[in-house]
Amino acid sequence: MNLPDARDWLYSGKAFAAAALALYIALSLSLPNPYWCVATVYVVSHPLSGSTRSKAVYRVLGTLIGACGAVALVPAFVNTPIVLSLLISGWVGVFLYLALLDRTPRSYVFMLATYSLPLIALPTLTNPETVFDVALARSEEIVLGIICASLVNTTLFPRRVASVLNPQIDRLLGDAAEWARACLQAGWNQASIPHPPFLADIASMDALTRHLAYDTTHHRQAVLAQEIRLCAAMLIPQVSALLDPLAALASGPAQNESRDVFELVSEVTAWMRRDQIGTAGGEHLLAECGRQLALADNARGEVSAIRALALTRLDELLRLWLDCLELRAAIVDAVVTRSSPAFRLRRRLVHEPHYDHGLLLFAAGSAALATAAASLIWISSGSVIGAGGVMLVSVSCAFFAASDSPAPQISRFLFWEYIVLATALIYMFAILPGIETFEILLLALAPPLLIAGAFTNQPQHNVSVLLFTSGSISAITLNNGYAGDFESFTSNAIASIVGLVFALTWTLVTRPFGTEFAARRLAKANHHDLCLMASKLADDGRQVIQARLLDRLGQLLPRQCLLADGHGLDAIRDVRVGLVLSEIQTLKRQLPADLRQGVDAMMNRVRSFFDEPGDEHEAPSSLSVECRGLARALLDSRGPHEFLAAQAVIGLRLAFLPERPTDPEISPEPPQPQASALPIAVP
């Protein structure tokens, strides 16, 4: 476990100061539930100022939507509790689905609306005339907590998102460079490609850039950061696509005559290194790559086509990496980059997220049905679960709905609920009875809140900190006077535990599928899109499919690493195939009619291959034979467009059935670079 540093302790002190301010104002105004203000401070506070502001805005909106829903539903349906329970459950399902559809901070609006309604509505069912007062009080207290959190975070040593984004970009590019070098030094074997570690960097930077718009004047930086994120993700299939022709050259009789290609690859791997932050040397490598490519274009034959394909992929990789470096200069060093980098102009990378609507609807429906079932049990049995238990069923099922396997996380919620209740028990019946002043109260609350808050910035502890801080404050129920009632506390504690046990049991029964099920569905979606790519599709449609394939790559690769048996799952291959299919469809227009028919026949075979049911997508040898035959026909035509199309067809064959090099000695180890005074990332 990493111990908090000075910056973490500073943030924790700021969060506690905001909580103390909110509590003081709430007590001064005699608000009914001051602890809501304090809990809100810890829910919305974030070490970064922009993140705090975005969470604050969206929490206000989500709470107001939930409060309005409670005020509208409870008085109208309080006399028909079953109908009211079903309406509340339907509300949970609809807003949770909207929250799962949105990957931006805006989803917080829908998530808050999801469980704000049951939090307000359920406790008022026995006194429905108080629902407006409860909704108003909760809204006031949450807004007060948000204002205090935002004020303190913005005025006291604010930490801007941009200050964290720059090191994050350097870490992303550093990890990407090391991964690319490792792949290009590993014998050009697709099976030996290591897992891209910078996927975590991309996810972290994605979260940062979404909050960048709330951090004063950094809109341009946010746009450029999204572009560099897309370029970095594109490195994965681009490097993989380069390995295919290199392996083919290394496995055949053309090893010796291709040494210039291998040497150029070694120079590129020496240049792409962690401490390389400038574009110096890149233009020279591009020129050399272009010179060798011109020589390959003047020749004909399958070996020449494979050489040209390798050099084309290397050229694209160089341009892509130069784009990354130029975007970094524009963001970090404020150096104006060219408006349309070459690779982005060709690929026109866009962000098109993939949504598995079936799984999202199932997750939202499961949470809604859990809320309905818990409500009906409570209504029919009196107080077996209680309103507090039903609320926690709704909160826990909604909060972890996006996970492939939410049961372990709900189990962690249950564990921390035990810690929360034990802490609240000590405070309510051992510490608070002897406290008479506000200052002593703050001193009593400070130790656990300060220690817990210092771990907020550590991703592995973030959820635990949130559960402990907000849960403990809510369980202690701070008010203007001491109101400790052991019987009431015990009843609420039992209701909370029973509710979470119910949520855990429900989740284990209704959502047993786990990571492999989600991964197989992603692979199936890839295959469906590749079928479309092999069809007659407009250019814009192919670009959207490429973007979806790239988005699924980020979703599928981490899941593949978690699976003991990932047979039939190859996210990188799917992206490579999609890019090559798009190239073939574009080049087909320039071919004679007879060759277009051959391309169409091959595309039909590709489409039928991906249309086959099941996940075991091992390419048949007949597809490789057909690709070889079409490539030879294209090469025999000896036209420039036919030569490019032959390269693409060969690339498709190698993507399906990559060849492995037989002589590892042709892969010289690139020279070790000198250390730079400006490292791209600090270890």
User: According to the model, what pLDDT value does residue 672 have?
Assistant: 41
CB 683 within 8 A of CB 282: no
- Residue 202 token pair: 């991309």
Helix (H, G, I), strand (E, B) or coil at 666: helix
Sign of dihedral through CA atoms 141, 143, 149, 155?
negative
User: According to the model, what pLDDT value does residue 370 have?
Assistant: 95
CB 662 within 8 A of CB 250: yes
Residue 203 within a domain: yes
- Residue 316 token pair: 């694209």
The better pLDDT of the pair 97, 234 is held by: 97
Enumerate residues 6+ apart whose C-beta is below 8 A from 651.
Answer: 241, 244, 245, 309, 313, 576, 580, 583
User: According to the model, what pLDDT value does residue 78 have?
Assistant: 86
pLDDT in tens, 588-618: 988 999 899 999 999 988 888 888 765 455 6
User: According to the model, what pLDDT value does residue 678 have?
Assistant: 28
| Closest to 288 measured CA to CA, from 266, 303, 306 | 266
Q: Report the pLDDT averaged over residues 187-206.
A: 75
Sign of dihedral through CA atoms 88, 90, 92, 95?
negative
Most confident of 123-132, 337-346, 387-396: 387-396
The better pLDDT of the pair 258, 646 is held by: 646
Residue 219 to residue 198: CA distance in whole angstroms:
24
Residue 306 to residue 302: CA distance in whole angstroms:
6
Do 291 and 416 have their domain in common? Answer: no
The better pLDDT of the pair 182, 192 is held by: 182
CB 144 within 8 A of CB 37: yes
Residue 512 to residue 514: CA distance in whole angstroms:
6
> Which letter, b or e, does each residue of 6-19 get, where b requires 16 or more Cβ atoms within 10 Å of its Cβ?
eebebbbbbbbbbb
Residue 672 within a domain: no
Residue 599 to residue 116: CA distance in whole angstroms:
57
Do 538 and 574 have their domain in common? Answer: yes
The better pLDDT of the pair 675, 649 is held by: 649
User: According to the model, what pLDDT value does residue 564 have?
Assistant: 66
Q: Which DSSP category does 455 fall into?
A: T
Helix (H, G, I), strand (E, B) or coil at 564: coil
Distance of CA 574 to the CA centre of its chain: 20
Amino acid occupying residue 354: H
Residue 566 within a domain: yes
Do 462 and 552 have their domain in common? Answer: no
CB 555 within 8 A of CB 354: yes
Among 332, 347, 362, identify where a domain stops: 347
CB 236 within 8 A of CB 641: no
pLDDT in tens, 313-371: 999 999 888 888 888 888 877 665 554 454 443 444 566 788 999 999 999 999 999 99
User: According to the model, what pLDDT value does residue 364 have?
Assistant: 95
Do 191 and 300 have their domain in common? Answer: yes
User: According to the model, what pLDDT value does residue 18 have?
Assistant: 94
Do 399 and 528 have their domain in common? Answer: no
Most confident of 158-172, 639-653, 667-681: 639-653
Residue 508 to residue 406: CA distance in whole angstroms:
8
Do 116 and 34 have their domain in common? Answer: yes
The better pLDDT of the pair 320, 103 is held by: 320
| Closest to 261 measured CA to CA, from 272, 276, 250 | 250
| Closest to 166 measured CA to CA, from 331, 335, 336 | 331
The pTM of this model reads 0.84
Task: Find the length of the chain.
Answer: 683
CA distance to 232, 238, 342, per residue, from 350 (Å):
13, 16, 15
Whether residue 273 has pLDDT greater than 70: yes
Whether residue 681 has pLDDT greater than 60: no
Residue 206's Cβ-side half-sphere holds a number of Cα atoms within 13 Å equal to 17
Whether residue 468 has pLDDT greater than 50: yes
The better pLDDT of the pair 279, 532 is held by: 532
Q: What is the mean pLDDT of the chain?
A: 83
Residue 558 within a domain: yes
Confidence tier at 272 by pLDDT (50, 70, 90): confident
Enumerate residues 6+ apart whose C-beta is below 8 A from 289.
Answer: 264, 311, 314, 315, 318
Most confident of 14-18, 256-260, 279-283, 386-390: 14-18
Among 462, 485, 510, identify where a domain stops: 510
Look up the domain containing 305 and give its range.
Answer: 161-347
Domain count within the chain: 3
Residue 683 within a domain: no
Among 466, 490, 510, identify where a domain stops: 510
Residue 677 within a domain: no
How much of the chain, in percent, has pLDDT values that exceed 70? 84
Most confident of 86-90, 197-201, 318-322, 432-436: 86-90
pLDDT in tens, 401-411: 999 999 999 99
Enumerate residues 6+ apart whose C-beta is below 8 A from 55.
Answer: 43, 44, 46, 105, 108
Do 374 and 302 have their domain in common? Answer: no
User: According to the model, what pLDDT value does residue 161 have?
Assistant: 67
Do 614 and 562 have their domain in common? Answer: yes
Do 377 and 304 have their domain in common? Answer: no
CB 305 within 8 A of CB 631: yes
Radius of gyration in angstroms for the set of CA atoms belonging to the chain, rounded to a whole number: 29
Amino acid occupying residue 388: G
User: According to the model, what pLDDT value does residue 560 have?
Assistant: 81
Do 317 and 272 have their domain in common? Answer: yes
Query: Range with the lowest mean pLDDT among 104-118, 330-344, 376-390?
Result: 330-344
Query: Range with the lowest mean pLDDT among 258-267, 378-387, 433-442?
Result: 378-387
> Which letter, b or e, does each residue of 612-649 get, where b requires 16 or more Cβ atoms within 10 Å of its Cβ?
eeeeebebeeebeebbeebbebbbebebebbbbbbbbb
Do 588 and 661 have their domain in common? Answer: yes
User: According to the model, what pLDDT value does residue 226 have?
Assistant: 78
Whether residue 666 has pLDDT greater than 80: no
User: According to the model, what pLDDT value does residue 539 have?
Assistant: 67
**Residue 216 — left, alpha, or beta (φ > 0 → left; ψ -120 to 50 → alpha)?**
left
User: According to the model, what pLDDT value does residue 103 have?
Assistant: 80
pLDDT in tens, 7-39: 889 999 999 999 999 999 999 998 888 999 999
Residue 682 within a domain: no
User: According to the model, what pLDDT value does residue 608 have?
Assistant: 86
Residue 231 within a domain: yes
Confidence tier at 669 by pLDDT (50, 70, 90): very low
Enumerate residues 6+ apart whose C-beta is below 8 A from 423.
Answer: 448, 468, 472, 475, 476
Distance of CA 33 to the CA centre of its chain: 36
Whether residue 680 has pLDDT greater than 60: no
Helix (H, G, I), strand (E, B) or coil at 670: coil
CA distance to 286, 320, 582, 617, per residue, from 316 (Å):
9, 6, 15, 28
User: According to the model, what pLDDT value does residue 565 have?
Assistant: 64
CB 630 within 8 A of CB 598: yes
Query: Range with the lowest mean pLDDT among 170-174, 250-254, 647-651?
Result: 250-254
CA distance to 47, 81, 88, 174, 621, per residue, from 682 (Å):
21, 59, 50, 9, 47
Whether residue 94 has pLDDT greater than 90: yes
The better pLDDT of the pair 280, 534 is held by: 534
Query: Range with the lowest mean pLDDT among 187-201, 212-226, 627-641?
Result: 212-226
User: According to the model, what pLDDT value does residue 350 have?
Assistant: 62
pLDDT in tens, 414-451: 999 999 999 999 999 999 888 888 999 999 999 999 99
pLDDT in tens, 534-574: 887 766 678 888 888 888 888 888 888 777 665 667 888 88
User: According to the model, what pLDDT value does residue 481 have?
Assistant: 74
Q: Report the pLDDT averaged over residues 634-646.
A: 87
Distance of CA 347 to the CA centre of its chain: 23
User: According to the model, what pLDDT value does residue 97 have?
Assistant: 96
Do 549 and 581 have their domain in common? Answer: yes
